[in-house]
Amino acid sequence: MASGFSLKDQLFNRDKVRYLADLFSAADTGFDAAAFEAQVMADLPALELKQRITLIADVLADHLPASLPEAARVLLRALPPPLDPSLKDDDFGDFIFAPLGDYVARHGLEDHRDLSLDLLEEITQRFSMEWAIRPFLNRWPAEVLARMERWAGHSSYHVRRLVSEGTRPRLPWGESVGLALADPLPLLDRLHADGARFVTRSVANHLNDIAKKDPDLVMDRLQHWQAAGAQSRKELDWITAHALRGLVKAGHPRAMKMLGYDPDLELRAEISLPRREVRIGDALELACVLAAARGSAVLVDYVLHFQRPSGKTSAKVFKLKQARVTGDQLRLKKTHKLKGDATTFKLVPGLHRVELMVNGRVHAAAEFDLLPPA
């Protein structure tokens, strides 16, 4: 990401606010677009991303009728055409419509449940309402799940995706939901067979969330889907690999076996470091050698154990290679950049350890000293 890049400014800025204001002004001649824009922009620059969503929803409430049924008529007229229904992926929509979901949740949760769900059904075809649906799931779980049963067969893949994404246990930025992990599974039973990757990716992410707490629940379901044969083999293989990615990083034996990798494979492994001293900002070079029976499937990862400011260490797993052993040995090399300017993870000088993990099991290790930048 380029230095100085601001996601909040890209997603919520004067041009985006003006675009939203113009949509509502065109839908209702009484809507004062200039006043709406001025009121939002007076506070928007000082706020973080989620605060900007809340602000726009608050200001929108000041400029719409107080009654949600009356405001809903204006809101529906203001919506642009739905996202391209011919696509199957990578069409998330425009973030400027996220405040509409916030507005609906705040003004319709208690007294206008069904109308609110109707509105979210429409808005999510312009921008995902995965965050806005969660307060309704917590307040009206049975009713919302019943609505989602209908949505799972909706003609818009954006509405179908909302069923899975909105019920995820660990949705980023999303309010936690009180559903049991198994509650949405009957919905995922239908959605895993979807023809849109946008939907099946959400299903896989949903299962990956569940796997953090109940791995066997996820693997049992995947095996059930394999037996059912409702999805193509290629797509179900993709869903399975994506759903089990967290378990694979953790070296879970059953997950490894489901993906065709034997955790008990007999092999010899070596890892060597051409340089045992590496400065922050430089690159760590790895050289690995594996010896196993010809044709053996191997999933090779490496694990870096980083020093932390507290004196403890933290481990991160990185992908190296998926392969089959075609000769007596499999030789691999990797250059890992040790960036010193990352904002989310600060490197700390000191003794570090790197491990070679094959099919979920650690087979070799080496140490190196991480030095301060030159």
Residues 6+ apart with CB under 8 A from 350: 307, 369, 370
Q: Summarize the confidence of residues 143-163 as an average pLDDT.
A: 97
Mark which of 214, 229, 258 sits at the end of a domain.
258
Tens of pLDDT, residue by residue over 325-354, are 988 789 999 999 999 877 778 899 999 999
Are residue 231 and residue 109 in the same domain, yes or no?
yes
Domain presence at residue 78 = yes
Are residue 237 and residue 96 in the same domain, yes or no?
yes
Tens of pLDDT, residue by residue over 231-287, are 999 999 999 999 999 999 999 999 999 999 999 999 999 999 999 999 999 999 999
- Give the domain CATH number at 328: 2.60.40.3880
Question: 340 lies in which domain range?
Answer: 267-371
Domain presence at residue 247 = yes
Are residue 172 and residue 224 in the same domain, yes or no?
yes
Tens of pLDDT, residue by residue over 113-136, are 999 999 999 999 999 999 999 999
Residue pair 14/41 in contact (Cβ under 8 Å)? The answer is yes
Identity (one letter) of the amino acid at 342? A
Which pLDDT value is given to residue 327?
A: 80
Residue pair 264/317 in contact (Cβ under 8 Å)? The answer is no
Are residue 162 and residue 241 in the same domain, yes or no?
yes
Residue pair 307/345 in contact (Cβ under 8 Å)? The answer is no
Which pLDDT value is given to residue 4?
A: 57
CA 136, 141, 147, 151 torsion-angle sign? positive
Are residue 283 and residue 311 in the same domain, yes or no?
yes
Q: What percent of the chain has pLDDT over 70?
A: 99
Which pLDDT value is given to residue 58?
A: 98
**Neighbour-count burial for 80-114, b at 16+ CB within 10 Å, e otherwise:** eeebeeeeeeeeebebbbbbbbbbbbbbbbeebbe
Residues 6+ apart with CB under 8 A from 115: 68, 69, 72, 108
Are residue 163 and residue 254 in the same domain, yes or no?
yes
Domain presence at residue 201 = yes
Are residue 232 and residue 339 in the same domain, yes or no?
no
Mark which of 258, 293, 324 sits at the end of a domain.
258
Domain count, the chain: 2
Identity (one letter) of the amino acid at 293? A
Domain presence at residue 55 = no
Q: How confident is the model at residue 1 (pLDDT cuts 50, 70, 90)?
A: very low
Are residue 229 and residue 96 in the same domain, yes or no?
yes
Q: How confident is the model at residue 2 (pLDDT cuts 50, 70, 90)?
A: very low
Which pLDDT value is given to residue 10?
A: 94
Are residue 90 and residue 197 in the same domain, yes or no?
yes
Are residue 141 and residue 223 in the same domain, yes or no?
yes
Which pTM was predicted? 0.91
Tens of pLDDT, residue by residue over 238-250, are 999 999 999 999 9
Q: How confident is the model at residue 301 (pLDDT cuts 50, 70, 90)?
A: very high
Tens of pLDDT, residue by residue over 210-219, are 999 999 999 9
pLDDT surpasses 90 at 41: yes
CA 340, 345, 351, 356 torsion-angle sign? negative
- Give the domain CATH number at 95: 1.25.40.290
Are residue 250 and residue 308 in the same domain, yes or no?
no
Are residue 94 and residue 180 in the same domain, yes or no?
yes
